[in-house]
Amino acid sequence: MELSGLVSNAGLVVGGIILVTGFLASILTILGITLTYMFWRTRQIIIPGVTLFILNLLEAPIRYVFWVVGVEDIVGNMIIEVRNILYKDAFEKTPYVNRAMFIPQCLRNSHCPAPLTPEGIKCLNCGRCGIGKIKEEAESLGYKVFIAPGGSLIKRMVKKYRPKAVLGVGCSMEVKEGTAKMASYGLPVQGIMLDRDGCVDTRVDAMKLLAKIKAKPKYSIESDPELLRKAVEVSNLWGDSEPSDAAVIVAKETTERGKW
End-to-end CA distance of the chain: 92
Is 9 or 223 the better-scoring residue by pLDDT? 223
Cβ-contact 221, 214 below 8 angstroms: yes
Residue 27 clears pLDDT 90, i.e. is over it = no
**Nearest one of 15, 156, 164, 187 to 87, comparing CA atoms:** 187
- The boundaries of every CATH 3.40.50 domain in the chain are 82-256
Query: Confidence class of residue 257 from pLDDT cuts 50, 70 and 90?
Result: very low
The pTM score is 0.81
- Residue 147 CA to residue 231 CA, distance in Å, equals 19
> What's 82-256's CATH class?
alpha beta
- Enumerate residues 6+ apart whose C-beta is below 8 A from 84: 179, 190, 191
Residue 167 has what DSSP assignment?
A: E
User: pLDDT tens digits for 200-251?
Assistant: 778 999 999 999 999 999 898 888 999 999 999 999 988 754 555 444 444 4
* Angle subtended at Cα 249 by Cα 198 and Cα 226, rounded to the nearest 5 degrees: 85
CA-CA-CA-CA torsion sign (180, 119, 167, 244): negative
User: pLDDT tens digits for 92-104?
Assistant: 999 999 999 999 9
- Residue 137 CA to residue 146 CA, distance in Å, equals 13
Residue 11 clears pLDDT 80, i.e. is over it = no
What's the pLDDT at 70?
A: 85
